[in-house]
Structure 1
Amino acid sequence: MTKVRTRSVTHGVAVQVGRTEDEEFLPHPGGRKVIASRLVLIVERSQRNLDLLQGALAKEGIEAIGAHSTESLEEVLSRTEVALVLIDLSGLDERVWEGCERLRTAGVPFVVISPRQSADVYRASAVHGARGVLVKPLAVRELLAVVKGLLGGD
């Protein structure tokens, strides 16, 4: 596998580059191509946290793109097929649950990242179809185990 490089754009999509021979490319607006078989979308308001999450996934050969808001989540999903979404609730408003509901309806698995343990967050996450809830501070091993399990690999 070639090395995976990731980047993020505040009001749009970040993409690319690394693949194995068994992955297929999908067309991407703007002429770029996106590998969809293991592409993870991270919804994270903090650029620093987004960089950390992308870096942890990249070390495992998992490509990740970023979105900084519920609106950019919708924008990315309208243009790019993703295998999994990680959603950090920190700084997002109640509209995030509408996005989660759309993910559930579309059959896209997602995991909620919560700033604290909360029965309300667990309940809302389950109601809207989350495959799990991770509580900050994240343990990288746990995060990777969940992501790999949902991607069906390694």
Structure 2
Amino acid sequence: MSATDRLLIVGSNARNQDLLAAFIHRLGYAILRADTLAMLTQLLDDAQPLRFALVDITGFDAAIWECCARLHARDIPLLIISPRQSAAMRQLAFTHGAQTIMEKPLVMRELADAIRGFMQAAPGDAG
């Protein structure tokens, strides 16, 4: 598995991140993890190679959208996880590069299918 076969998971809840990381590892994929905006910013500054990013926006302030835009500018597809899907949130997500939005609570089979789809798509082709 090459470095470009990794996916990035972003979330502010450490327990949820642990569960998500374990779930993704069981699917056979490697991850990079950012639990804070500072960690995410550092990963972006380091230009880590990634296949796609799964971003749980819960608990982050509006600065998360700037980070999403930076990922999008690097042609890294985004899957946004949100506690709700208001029209305003959907507009923000799509404006900042989201290809897909999933609402909590997550249906794990749908999440697994989405992850597989993003990971099997050619880089820059997942949208």
2:61 aligned to which of 81, 93, 96: 93
For structure 2, the residue ranges without an aligned partner over 5 or more in a row are 122-127
Aligned: 1:39 with 2:6: yes
Q: Is the 8 A contact 2:8 2:50 kept in 1?
A: yes
8 Å Cα contact 2:9-2:55 kept in structure 1: yes
- Across the aligned residues of Structure 1 and Structure 2, the Cα RMSD in angstroms comes to 1.3
Q: In structure 2, give the amino acid aligned to 1:110.
A: L
TM-score, structure 1 normalization:
0.73
Equivalenced residues, count? 120
Q: Structure 1 counterpart of 2:70, which letter?
A: R
SS of aligned partner of 1:37: helix
- In structure 1, stretches of 5+ residues that fail to align are 1-22, 25-35
SS in 1 for 2:50: coil
Q: Considering only CA atoms, is the larger Rg found in Structure 1 or Structure 2?
A: 1
Query: What is the percent sequence identity of the aligned residues?
Result: 33
- Runs of 4+ that moved beyond 6 A: none
1:25-104 matches, cutoff 5 A: 36-79=3-46, 80-104=48-72
User: 1:37 and 1:89 mapped to 2: Cα distance?
Assistant: 23
Determine which structure has the larger helix proportion and give its number: 2
The answer to which structure, 1 or 2, has the higher relative contact order (CA under 8 A, 6+ apart) is 2
Cα distance between partner residues in 2 of 1:109 and 1:70? 18
